């Protein structure tokens, strides 16, 4: 959530910056400014009434002592009128605060200066590429056919049990999935992240804190009777661990990692781009989250990007890193880097990670603060998160890129976790 004082003091800058996200903030910013003018007028009037009431309170006793009963009673009546007026003004003041807050939460985070302009994924900037694209036989298969051939994943059985987008992993497919999860968690632990095992459902306050609500409620599975939401990512419960918390500056950065199942109702198109593992409603992901000092959050972002890059390098996947344009960024992000890996069986790039700096946007909602040594007033922290990594498309690319006439070769780093080096 944007800082209210910043909006008030920089209305034109807020409107201009949000144009890069293709968001017209002019009406909301104008309404906030108008409401605050009204609020200031109410405050002036309330202060005048309180001053008059205090003056009358001092005079009433003196009037009684002087025997001026009628004047004293008249002053008491005026004091009662002023109390009622002040109460009404306080109510009006609170209503304006509520209206301002409702407008404030509708504003997306401001994009960082380096965010490129653009409206669609085609406008994203490729900032780095790595790895070699494998040369496959003409008989290469996409991962959904490989999964069927080697009995790794049953998509039809998932439809029977739940519906499209809920695959069933079997045998070596299950072990391969578990191997990736453990590999990612071990790598995160080695990088200094503390592992968390979070709940898979959160309440409204948690969804609001990280910006999923009210922006993305249509993408979340809602348990109506209990008013809980299945998590779209472990980012939500892990970041909310620090809601309403004041950290010591010496504790920063706080580094957490978590594996979880993730649930997303997002509707997709039909065809090759969403076949097999390309788009699911339930999938597994290892997330990394950091709470950072505002002065160092962009250094932390680069560190997190480097961590994800090492993962795809160790898996031997060809990859590219994209800096997202304003129109392709999330509501909450100030700067996001996406990782895509090349899936040779489909001959297309697949997104496998997003690494984002939210600056103070989430922390402002969460009331997540830190206090410098010797300072009384706490400051708002910065939050960051990244997929490290999301499994479905990683699995898709590994199956396709490593297919051979003898079977699917398991990357060397996963062999100790799998217990086998070939899927056949």
Which residue numbers belong to the known binding site for ATP? 264-266, 351-354
User: Residues annotated as binding site?
Assistant: 233, 264-266, 287, 351-354, 385
Give the residues across from 340 on adjacent strands: 320, 351
Residue-wise over 375-388: b if at least 16 C-beta within 10 A, else e? eeebbbbbbbbbbb
How far apart are alpha carbons 178 and 175 in whole angstroms? 5
Q: Quick one: the chain helix, strand, coil %, rounded to 5? A: 45, 20, 35
Instruction: Give the pairing of strands 319-323 and 246-248.
Output: unpaired
How far apart are alpha carbons 249 and 60 in whole angstroms? 53
User: Residues annotated as binding site for L-serine?
Assistant: 233, 264, 287, 385
Q: Cα 279 from chain centroid?
A: 19
**Other CB atoms within 10 A of residue 72 CB:** 19
DSSP 8-state code for residue 360: T
Give the residues across from 349 on adjacent strands: 342
| Residue among 176, 122, 140 nearest 394 (CA) | 176
Asked if 290 contacts 300 with a C-beta cutoff of 8 angstroms, the reply is yes
| Residue among 303, 273, 296, 277 nearest 379 (CA) | 296
Give the residues across from 341 on adjacent strands: 319, 350
**375 token code pair:** 């300072």
Asked if 71 contacts 63 with a C-beta cutoff of 8 angstroms, the reply is yes
How far apart are alpha carbons 315 and 14 in whole angstroms? 42
Asked if 258 contacts 287 with a C-beta cutoff of 8 angstroms, the reply is yes
């Amino acid at each position: 959530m944007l800082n209210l004082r910043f909006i008030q003091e920089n209305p034109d800058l807020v409107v201009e910056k949000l144009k890069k996200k293709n968001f017209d903030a002019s009406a909301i910013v104008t309404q906030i400014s108008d409401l605050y003018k009204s609020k200031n007028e109410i405050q002036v009037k309330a202060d005048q009434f309180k001053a008059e009431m205090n003056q009358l309170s001092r005079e009433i006793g003196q009037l009684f002592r002087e025997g001026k009963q009628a004047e004293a009673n008249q002053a008491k009546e005026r004091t009662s009128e002023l109390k009622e007026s002040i109460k009404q003004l306080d109510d009006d003041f609170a209503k304006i605060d509520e209206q301002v807050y409702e407008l404030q939460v509708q504003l997306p985070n401001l994009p960082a200066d380096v965010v490129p302009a653009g409206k669609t994924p085609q406008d994203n900037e490729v900032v780095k590429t790595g790895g070699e694209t494998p040369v496959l036989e003409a008989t290469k298969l996409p991962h959904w056919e490989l999964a069927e051939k080697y009995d790794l994943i049953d998509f039809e059985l998932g439809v029977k049990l739940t519906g499209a987008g809920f695959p069933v992993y079997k045998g070596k497919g299950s072990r391969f999935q578990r191997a990736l999860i453990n590999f990612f968690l071990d790598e995160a632990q080695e990088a200094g992240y503390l592992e968390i095992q979070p709940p898979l459902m959160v309440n409204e306050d948690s969804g609001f804190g990280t910006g999923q609500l009210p922006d993305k409620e249509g993408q979340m599975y809602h348990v109506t009777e209990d008013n809980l939401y299945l998590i779209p990512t472990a980012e939500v419960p892990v970041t909310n661990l620090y809601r309403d918390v004041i950290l010591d500056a010496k504790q920063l950065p706080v580094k957490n990692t978590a594996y979880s199942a993730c649930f997303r109702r997002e509707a997709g198109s039909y065809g090759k781009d969403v076949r097999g593992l390309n788009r699911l409603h339930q999938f597994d992901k290892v997330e990394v989250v950091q709470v950072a000092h505002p002065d160092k959050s962009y250094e932390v972002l680069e560190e997190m990007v480097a961590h994800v890059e090492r993962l795809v390098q160790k898996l031997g996947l060809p990859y590219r890193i994209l800096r997202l344009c304003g129109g392709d960024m999330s509501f909450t992000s100030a700067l996001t880097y996406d990782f895509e890996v090349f899936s040779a069986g489909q001959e297309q790039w697949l997104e496998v990670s997003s690494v984002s700096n939210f600056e103070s946007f989430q922390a402002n909602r969460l009331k997540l603060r830190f206090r410098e040594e010797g300072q009384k007033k706490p400051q708002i922290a910065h939050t960051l998160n990244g997929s490290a990594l999301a499994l479905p498309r990683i699995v898709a690319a590994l199956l396709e890129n490593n297919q051979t006439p003898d079977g699917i070769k398991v990357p060397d780093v996963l062999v100790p976790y799998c217990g086998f080096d070939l899927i056949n």
